[in-house]
Structure 1
Amino acid sequence: MAFTQETKKEIMDYCSNHLPADFWYEKEFDFIQDVQLHKRIVQEFKATRFAYKLYEGIAAQDENLVFEVRNQILAYASIYEAVIESDLTDYYGDTQEYDDLMHHTVTVKIGIPTEKLEKLKKELEHDGKEIVPCYYERKKKDKTKVRFEDKCDTARKLGIVKSFTNDGTCIDLPEEIKEIYSFRNGIHLIAEQRKSITYELELSKKAYRRMRPFVDQIKEKLAKDGKYNSN
């Protein structure tokens, strides 16, 4: 049975209180070039803030608090991932740093005739192991297999995200984003049991608090490189 209209209004008013207007979210991520991705990020951020207020309102405890924390981490980690991916691809896809991120050196086995291979085996030996003729080739990675940690490192090299000082404390923003993302990867019950992961409320709060310097740093870098105008 649904809540009464009065109850729903009270809940909606509480959750919406002190949250920004819609245009603020639109402006916050206006550097995202992909229209659909921009829309999706805005929706995710708005919904995440609303959900936080809802669970705050019921003073969530025990399993409900764990559920809240897990989903806050999941949401913010997904936003960090989408923004970094978009920023690197759309603005810095022509850089050497991005090219290095998307390529790796692999060994490629050479197929040679059997008789020549037998001669090679007689001439070459290493610790009793078979010697296989091959060469090195630089190949493009499968985009879906590029590790998020490597994307963060590339963003650091390019100066998109970096360390900053807060109240005299040095905050390594790229490393903290990696930490948030690593917890996100453990958010399913089997992994949680295997890794004995404890989802902490402070980490979910950190995931939210770091969004401010994260977005500010990106906009500052894009503006410096002539790729973004806040007006």
Structure 2
Amino acid sequence: MPFTTETKEEILDYCENHLPEDDWYEEQFDFILDEDLRERIIQEFKAIRFAYKLYEGITAEEENLVFEVRNQILAYASIYEAVIENVIETYYRDTEEYDKLTHEMVLKPYSLPQIKLDKLKNELDHDGKQIIPAFYARSKKDSPKVRFADKCNTAEELGLIHSFIGKDGEIVNLPTEIKNIYSYRNCIHLLAEKRKDITYELDLSKKAYRRMRPFIDQIKEKLREDEKIS
């Protein structure tokens, strides 16, 4: 049974109060040139802020609080990943850092005439194992093999994200913190949580939100410095 109109309006007013207007989100992510991706990121950001206000409004506790925190971490980690990957792909494809991120040296079998293979087999023997000729070649990595930590490291090497001095005067290692947030995102699975004894803390989800501001600012500053955007 849905809420009454009055109750629904009260909840919407509470959740949407103090949240930015739509233009604010567009301005924050205007460096994402892929319109579909930019819209999806904005939707995710708006939705997770709305959900935070909703759970704050009911003072969520116990399993409801865990559910809120898990989804906050999942949403923000996904935004971090989408932004980093898109920025590197869009603006830095011609760099050594990008090439190192997306390629690797792999062993590939080398074809030889059968007579030479037979000779090789007779000459070489190692613990009863068959030895075959191979060579190292540069190969493009499959997308799933490019880990988020590697993307984050590449972003740091490019100067897109870096440590900064927080409001309390302490050094904040932004790349490390983002990787830590993402590592929790990978554990958002009931069996993984049990195996790794994962405990979700509200402070981590708040940190995931608070780090979004310097994250965006640093990326846009570097893009301007490199004359990628105006």
TM-score, length basis structure 2: 0.95
Distance in 2, matches of 1:30 and 1:114, equals: 60
2:219 maps to 1:222: no
Q: In structure 2, the residue corresponding to 1:138 is in which secondary structure?
A: strand
Structure 1, 106-115 or 216-225: larger mean CA deviation:
106-115
Distance in 2, matches of 1:215 and 1:118, equals: 60
Q: In structure 2, the residue corresponding to 1:108 is in which secondary structure?
A: strand
Q: In structure 2, the residue corresponding to 1:105 is in which secondary structure?
A: strand
Give runs of aligned pairs for residues 23-38 of structure 1, distance below 5 A: 23-38=23-38
Q: In structure 2, the residue corresponding to 1:25 is in which secondary structure?
A: helix
2:135 maps to 1:135: yes
1:204-223 CA-partner distances (Å, limit 9, x unpaired): 11100100000000010001
Residue in structure 2 matched with residue 198 of structure 1 by the alignment: 199
2:112 maps to 1:120: no
Distance in 1, matches of 2:175 and 2:127, equals: 43
CA shift, 1:128, in A, is: 5.4
CA shift, 1:125, in A, is: 4.0
Aligned AA (2:183): S
1:39-70 CA-partner distances (Å, limit 9, x unpaired): 11111101110000000000000000000000
1:112-170 CA-partner distances (Å, limit 9, x unpaired): 34432232233334455433210010011122431111110110110001111113211
Give runs of aligned pairs for residues 83-98 of structure 1, distance below 5 A: 83-98=83-98
Residue in structure 2 matched with residue 173 of structure 1 by the alignment: 174
Distance in 1, matches of 2:10 and 2:35, equals: 34
Structure 1, 183-192 or 42-51: larger mean CA deviation:
183-192
Residue in structure 1 matched with residue 147 of structure 2 by the alignment: 147
CA shift, 1:195, in A, is: 1.8
2:160 maps to 1:160: yes
Residue in structure 1 matched with residue 80 of structure 2 by the alignment: 80
- Percentage of pairs with the same residue: 67
1:56-94 CA-partner distances (Å, limit 9, x unpaired): 000000000000000000000000000001100111111
Q: In structure 1, the residue corresponding to 2:136 is in which secondary structure?
A: strand
Aligned AA (1:224): E
Residue in structure 2 matched with residue 48 of structure 1 by the alignment: 48
Q: In structure 2, the residue corresponding to 1:31 is in which secondary structure?
A: coil
Distance in 1, matches of 2:121 and 2:26, equals: 65
CA shift, 1:228, in A, is: 1.4
CA shift, 1:31, in A, is: 0.7
1:163-220 CA-partner distances (Å, limit 9, x unpaired): 1111321111111111111111111112112222111111111100100000000010
Residue in structure 1 matched with residue 57 of structure 2 by the alignment: 57
Q: How many residues align?
A: 229
Structure 1, 45-54 or 15-24: larger mean CA deviation:
15-24
Residue in structure 2 matched with residue 186 of structure 1 by the alignment: 187
| Structure 2 unmatched runs, 5+ | none
| Structure 1 unmatched runs, 5+ | none
Structure 1, 116-125 or 149-158: larger mean CA deviation:
116-125
Distance in 2, matches of 1:209 and 1:129, equals: 56
Structure 1, 165-174 or 218-227: larger mean CA deviation:
165-174
CA shift, 1:227, in A, is: 1.1
Aligned AA (1:61): E
Distance in 2, matches of 1:155 and 1:83, equals: 10
Aligned AA (2:4): T
Distance in 1, matches of 2:120 and 2:165, equals: 60
TM-score, length basis structure 1: 0.95
